[in-house]
Chain A
Amino acid sequence: MASRRVRSAGLVRLALYGIGLVPAAVSFVQGATDRLGADPVNVFERTLGLWALRFLILSLCIAPLRDLAGINLLRYRRALGLLAFWYALFHLTAYVALDLGFDLRTLLADVTRRPFIILGMAAFTILAALAATSNGWAIRRLGRRWQALHRWVYAAAICAAIHFVLSFKVIRVETLLYGLVVAALLAFRVWRTAARRGRRRPASAAGRDGGREFPRDDAGEA
Chain B
Amino acid sequence: AADLAARPGALSNAGLKPTPLRDVTHYNNFYEFGLEKTDPADRSADFQPRPWTIRVDGMVAKPRTYDIDALLARPLEERIYRMRCVEAWSMVIPWIGFALRDLLAEVEPLGSAKYVAFESVVRPSQMPGQGGVLPVLDWPYVEALRLDEALHPLTILAVGLYGQTLPNQNGAPVRLVVPWKYGFKGIKSVVRIRLTDRMPRTSWNVRAPDEYGFYANVNPAVDHPRWSQASERPIGTGGFFGASRQPTLPFNGYGAQVAGLYAGMDLRRDF
Contacts and interface: CB of A to CB of B under 8 A. Distances in A.
Interface in A88-111: 98-101, 103, 106, 109-110
Contact of B240 (A31, A37, A113, A117): A31
Interface centre among A44, A99, A166 (most CB of B within 10 A): A99
Report the contact-size class of chain A (Cβ under 8 Å from the partner): 35 or more
A166 B238 CA distance: 28
Interface residues of B, number: 35
Interface centre among B208, B211, B236 (most CB of A within 10 A): B236
B231 A34 contact: no
Contact of A172 (B134, B235, B236): B134
Contacts, number: 79
B226 A37 contact: no
Nearest to A110: B228
B23 A38 contact: yes
A42 B239 contact: no
A171 B133 CA distance: 11
Interface stretch (B153-161, B170-178, B241-249): B241-249
Contacts of B243: 40-41
Contacts of A113: 223
A17 to B, nearest CB: 24
Contact of A41 (B87, B227, B233): B233
Contacts of B23: 38
B230 interface: yes
Contact of A38 (B35, B211, B231, B236): B236
A32 B241 contact: yes
Given A170-B35, A172-B35, A33 B227 contact: no
Contacts of A73: none
Interface of B: 22-23, 26-27, 31, 35, 37-38, 87, 89, 133-134, 136-137, 207-208, 211, 223, 225-228, 230-231, 233, 235-236, 238-245
21 contacts: A31-B239, A34-B242, A37-B27, A37-B38, A38-B22, A39-B27, A39-B37, A40-B243, A44-B240, A99-B233, A101-B244, A101-B245, A106-B228, A106-B230, A109-B223, A116-B227, A169-B211, A170-B35, A170-B137, A173-B133, A173-B134
9 interchain residue pairs of minimum CB distance? A38-B27, A34-B239, A38-B23, A116-B226, A38-B235, A31-B240, A34-B238, A106-B228, A170-B136
